């Protein structure tokens, strides 16, 4: 489990194809305290550390993950948001993020709004019904509040700090990001009997 508060902005160091792909990441995280078998949220995707050394760690990525997330589009050098797993007693500064991606969304527009950046994303109808104004989403692992939500799009605001320390500030229209819906929205929909 994660909070959506990014602790490091690293990048893909290498990708080695295979039955399952091996993704290696360059990071500023303290890899000495990062155990093999630990979970790291990598731009919204929960991955398991399988190897590590000073300044890098490696994960195994299945075909399912490649098909359902943006990881299949990543190359060496692609910037990646990192967050280590939440420990009991840690501050929950963002919102509950599982690292289980619900879908991929595409940036429609980006515009300056004061010192912030307003991003509007196109979203498939089957996911849009779980996105609500003042609700939460995680985009590439970043916990954000939804400003407005419609049948096929939603908007979020990035403050300067978030623009600087995450991949979201460098997005351009037509770029894709991983979307995780608020888990509570899914549970409420199931409780009310709406088809998922």
Helix (H) / strand (E) element for 24: namely: strand 21-26
pLDDT of residue 84: 97
36-45, 157-166, 185-194: which range is least confident on average?
185-194
Q: Measure the CA–CA gap between 121 and 158, rounded to whole angstroms.
A: 13
User: Residues near 68 by Cβ (< 8 Å), separated by ≥ 6?
Assistant: 101, 103, 104
DSSP conformational letter for 195:
-
Cα(84)–Cα(115) distance, integer angstroms: 29
The Cβ-side half-sphere exposure at 19, using a 13 Å CA radius, reads: 0
What are the φ/ψ torsions at residue 99 (nearest 5 degrees)? Answer: 85, 15
Q: What is the pLDDT of residues 2-48, one digit of tens each?
A: 999 999 999 999 999 989 999 999 999 999 999 999 999 999 999 99
Pair 104, 153: CB distance under 8 Å: no
Residue 95 has what pLDDT? 87
Q: Can you list the domains of the chain with their CATH numbers?
A: 8-84 (2.40.30.20), 103-191 (2.40.30.20)
What are the b/e assignments for 167-188, b being 16+ CB within 10 Å? bbbebeeebbbbbbbbbebeee
DSSP state of 167: G
Q: What is the pLDDT of residue 195?
A: 55
Distances (CA, A) of 143 to 54, 96, 121, 177: 28, 8, 15, 13
3-class SS of residue 42: strand
Per-residue pLDDT, 174: 97
What is the model's pLDDT at position 194?
57
Above 90 in pLDDT, residue 90?
no
pTM: 0.93
């Amino acid at each position: 489990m994660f909070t959506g508060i990014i602790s490091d902005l690293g990048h893909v160091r290498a990708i080695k194809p295979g039955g399952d792909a091996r993704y290696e990441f360059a990071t500023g995280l303290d890899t000495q305290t990062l155990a093999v078998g630990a979970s790291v949220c990598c731009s919204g995707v929960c991955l398991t550390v399988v190897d590590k050394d000073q300044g890098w760690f490696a994960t195994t990525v299945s075909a399912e993950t490649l098909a359902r997330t943006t990881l299949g589009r990543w190359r060496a050098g692609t910037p990646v948001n990192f967050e280590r797993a939440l420990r009991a007693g840690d501050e929950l500064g963002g919102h509950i993020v599982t690292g289980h991606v619900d879908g991929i969304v595409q940036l429609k527009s980006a515009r300056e709004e004061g010192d912030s950046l307003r991003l509007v994303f196109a979203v498939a109808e089957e996911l849009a019904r779980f996105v609500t104004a003042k609700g939460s989403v995680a985009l590439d692992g970043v916990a954000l509040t939804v400003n407005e939500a419609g049948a096929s799009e939603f908007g979020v605001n990035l403050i300067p700090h978030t623009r600087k320390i995450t991949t979201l500030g460098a997005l351009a229209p037509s770029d894709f990001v991983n979307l995780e819906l608020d888990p509570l929205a899914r549970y409420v929909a199931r409780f009310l009997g709406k088809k998922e």
